Structure 1
Amino acid sequence: MDKFDQAILSILQSDCTRPIAEIADNIGLGSTACWRRVQKLEEQGMIRGRVALLDAGQLNVAVTVFAAIRTNQHNAQWLEQFHDLIATLPEVVECYRMAGDTDYMLRIVVPDIAGYDAVYKRLIQLSGITDISSSFAMEQIKSTTRLPLTYAG
């Protein structure tokens, strides 16, 4: 990845609706060369998609809950059941398998406590979950989809 690719990615991370011609002008490339680079970055999987970032408050899902899940099941069958359950819960916007005391960490967005309780009740239906510890975000200090490009090779 050279400086042009990094510049393209930096611009697209900020605003993926910018026209190729404008991006090309900003970084000192011709439009065709810039378009080819974007296509290559997409083919390589470096650009996985282009999305609109929505306002959670205006969509009535402004309550963010972090749920730390512990399980006594560490086998392929349980993991598949867990993945299947998580896939059915649109309120779960992120899910990570963790190292350490917590097995899974979920980021959940809901309108209120009752909304979280409904998600919680769905989660505890899966046998093998031994603990769910929930923390409610009081304030969002930083939220970005921008990845640091300084480490890209």
Structure 2
Amino acid sequence: MLDERDRRILTLLQEDASLAVSTLAERVHLSVSACSRRIQRLEETGYIARRIVVLDRERMGVPTTVFALVKTTHHADDWIDIFRKVIGEIPEIVEAHRLTGNYDYILKVVLPRVEHYDVIYKQIVRKVELFDVSASISMEVLKSGTGVPVEYAR
């Protein structure tokens, strides 16, 4: 069961995972050792899945985002396993979701420039059969982040 201090620790770590335990402890009004124990418990119980560094995409040379909407006529487990393996091997595909509605999957692809999308598209269709792929280019990021709301956690 999480309390308000746990939620505050999670919120602060989502904003900056490099915060020193002493800084976190001060901000949540705990001793350093008590704060450290809470962080360890949050990691052990799976509330903190991992700690990551978010890279600047411009500096990394991949400022372009393309969303590829995929339709397939295949829904068997073996096809899904192959599709999952194929997209997992392509580092430019940074997210993939199975959907309800008119499309089966959406892929978030980060690229150096929009023309590079064709390279990624060919890597996929050479290895797995698709019915239809429709791509949309992101013109502007209105909201982006890795944080999730903490108030729903139990």
Asked if Structure 1 and Structure 2 have the same fold, meaning a TM-score greater than 0.5 normalized by the shorter chain, the answer is: yes
Q: CA deviation at 1:125?
A: 1.7
Distance of 1:104 and 1:52 partners within structure 2: 27
The residue number in structure 2 matching 1:129 is: 130
1:78-89 counterparts in 2 under 5 A? Answer: 78-89=79-90
The answer for unaligned runs of 5 or more in structure 1 is none
Residues 127 and 13 from structure 1, CA distance in 2 versus in 1: closer, same or farther, beyond 3 angstroms? Answer: closer
User: If the length of structure 1 is used for normalisation, what is the TM-score?
Assistant: 0.96
Structure 1 runs of 4+ with >3 Å offset: none
User: How well do the aligned residues superpose, as a CA RMSD in angstroms?
Assistant: 0.9
Structure 1 residue matching 2:131: 3-state secondary structure: strand
Query: Percent of pairs identical after alignment?
Result: 38
User: If the length of structure 2 is used for normalisation, what is the TM-score?
Assistant: 0.96
Contact 2:87 2:93 (C-alpha < 8 Å) held by counterparts = yes
The residue number in structure 1 matching 2:26 is: 25
Distance of 1:19 and 1:71 partners within structure 2: 47
Question: Over residues 68-87 of structure 1, what are the superposed CA-to-partner deviations in whole Å (9 max), with x where a residue is unaligned?
Answer: 00000000110110011011
Distance of 1:88 and 1:128 partners within structure 2: 16
The residue number in structure 1 matching 2:75 is: 74
The answer for unaligned runs of 5 or more in structure 2 is none
